[in-house]
Amino acid sequence: MSVSWGHRLLASVLSALASAGLVHLTMLLAFWISDSSNAAIIGAAHQYFLSGTLISFVVVFAFGVFGLLGRWWGALVAGIVAGLVAPLAGTSFQVLTQGIAIDETFVPSVASTLLTVNFGFLVTTIAVVPTVGRLVYRSLVGAQSSTTADARVALVRLPAKNLTDGQVTHIDRSPIDTDLADRQWDAYVAAFAEHGWTTQEVPYAERLADSVFVEDAVVVIGGLAVIARSGSEERRGETDGVEEVLAARRYPIERIMSPGTLDGGDVLVVGTTVYVGRSSRTNADGIAQLRALLGARGFDVVAVPVTRALHLKSTVTALPDGTVIGHDELVDEPRLFGRYLPVPEKEGVAVVALDEETLLMSEAAPETAELLRELGYDVVTVDISEFEKLEGCVTCLSVRLS
């Protein structure tokens, strides 16, 4: 993730200050101890090492500005460069200010201090910059990066070995090219990464044919994870790995209990309104349970009949501005949605908002993509043809945690 220059400058200054300051104090302490705790030596040591300390500050700061302190090797190089250049330049400055002429013995004499009076400065700098300096830098720059990244996390799951056995209900079965499906899945995941998302793989479910459609296993709303209970008994085992990941991310967990059934693909969130499809996979009891869980958190749950497709989000999804888009042949009751926009292609009803301006959708709906571009959105398309043969779409291949 990108970090603002202002934030990087602040991190660089504080990292350089901590590194150079700690080295300087270490040298004062070392000389004080070596001179039998003679307080007078502190002033002399301070005067001698001050120039080197300031130069060390500049070197470490420069490495930080270019982002190198965030990498262990970059911080190590910064420590080595500062440990060598700063004491040599500082000693040279001290010698020159005393009016000593530069002759053939000048460079060897200054260089020899690395093995005597400046040896401690060299070793301490090489040790401090990659540890303390890098820690300070990463605690500032890294904190901003991880906060931004964590705000946009998508859970994904590799296609199962038996993907070809995936269920179909509203379309005819077609042959699945599993190698092509694997490549399409890789491209789908890459699209998230290219737009600033962090993707996390849910544990592989080798023999659960539909497990790649990870969205159906859970509903994540308002910081709450509701583990689904599919109307298809064959798919209920898919929740285990998903629950494991969300528990590790410290989400509070609730569950849809028998006799309720619910698939995540039947849940569409638009602001504080949660539309839930009453489909072949989600029953009235499941909707009632979700309504009870979310109502206490300020969400309004609206039930929507779904008879022409597998899931609600096979018929409608929402744009970032709250407009619900759908294909008229698939939508049972468009009047239930506050703002509804019909799109020209069935494959165009599913979009994922990568950010407020960017939409991810299937490349099988070029007319819809053009319509959305005319509405001011950047549209990213991916080929998911093998998953569409199993009634999948761009929404059900991931769980977006933002």
Strands 324-326 and 340-342: parallel
Structure-block tokens of residue 210: 């539909």
**Cβ of 72: how many Cβ atoms within 10 Å?**
12
Closest CA to 75 of 31, 164, 11, 21: 11
Cβ contact 275:315 at 8 Å: no
What is the signed CA dihedral for 309, 315, 317, 323, rounded to 10 degrees?
-160
* Residue for token pair 């571009």: 373
Structure-block tokens of residue 261: 């059934």
Cβ contact 56:125 at 8 Å: yes
3-state SS of 266-328?
HEEEECCEEEEEECCCCCHHHHHHHHHHHHCCCCEEEEEECCCCCCHHHCEEECCCCCEEECC
**Which residues are designated catalytic?**
311, 396
Burial of residue 135 (CB within 10 Å: 0-12, 13-18, 19+) is middle
Structure-block tokens of residue 159: 């296609």
Cβ contact 254:218 at 8 Å: no
Rounded distance between C-alpha atoms, residue 88 and residue 103, angstroms: 16
Strands 351-353 and 358-362: antiparallel
